[in-house]
Amino acid sequence: MSGKQVALITGGTRGIGLAIAEALAREGLDLALCGVRPAEAVGEVLTQLRTLGSEVAYFQADVAQTADRLRLLEEVRSRFGRLHVLVNNAGIAPPVRADLLEATEESFDRVLAVNLKGPYFLTQQAARWMIQQRQQDPDHQGTIINIGSISATVISTSRGEYCVSKAGLAMATQLWAVRLAEFGIRVYEVRPGIIQTDMTVPVREKYDRLLSEGLCVQARWGMPEEVGRAAAMLVRGELPYSPGLVVLVDGGLTIPRL
């Protein structure tokens, strides 16, 4: 068992989560990755990450499930014995993009369970553990990063449940930043815009057109590694006097323009 800092990244084996895992591995952290896929489906990814010099462990868990969250933290504790960073990255889009007048309660419940309830209560559990570590070692520094979305403030009436979940996560970031400041735990939100991942594949053509028409200040897709670099900056502690900060990685999409 190494003495490196440990980061738990939910949804950490593909897309933005994987880019964050790669960035933190390059920063010298060991990685606890969580996802819903079976371990055999992510073996190649884990092998790739280990070439960066980190100890990497995978834990299958659904953050929307109370029992899975509890088991996840216990398994991380058993494997690593410590935790310094939590990245709440796991998230889903609505199974069907439905107009607000047609959307179902089932879709609303599932999206909010994964995107908001899961990270909210995983943060609660991880923070308790970080506080215990701080009490045992005054030099222990905890960092919690929520991966939000411009959908916290930018409206999409065909996926209202997603927008509501990300708006709630933005408030959760502020709440936890205030509550955990006394324990030296830094809490931030990284808020991506239009990022080229498997989640955006179904709308690739739509956003290609919108980007060409000037949707963003920078007329291109964002890349997962750009979100990874933002997370790494926060984990390094480069913005220690900015609790609750929202780091926008959106190509200028949310700058108001005439």
- Catalytically active residues are 162
- Left, alpha or beta for 141 (phi > 0: left; psi -120 to 50: alpha)? beta
Angstrom distance (rounded) from CA 154 to CA 174: 19
- Identity at 212, one-letter amino acid code: S
Distance (Å) of CA 222 to CA 31, 209, 227, 253: 24, 15, 8, 11
- The answer to whether the beta carbons of residues 248 and 227 sit under 8 Å apart is no
Task: Please tell me the distance from the alpha carbon of residue 115 to that of residue 91, in angstroms, as a whole number.
Answer: 5
Q: What is the DSSP string of 100-162?
A: TTT--HHHHHHHHIIIIIHHHHHHHHHHHHHHHHHHH-TT--EEEEEE--GGGTS--TT-HHH
Q: What single string gives the DSSP state of each residue in 28-87?
A: T-EEEEEESS-GGGSHHHHHHHHTTT--EEEEE--TTSHHHHHHHHHHHHHHHS---EEE
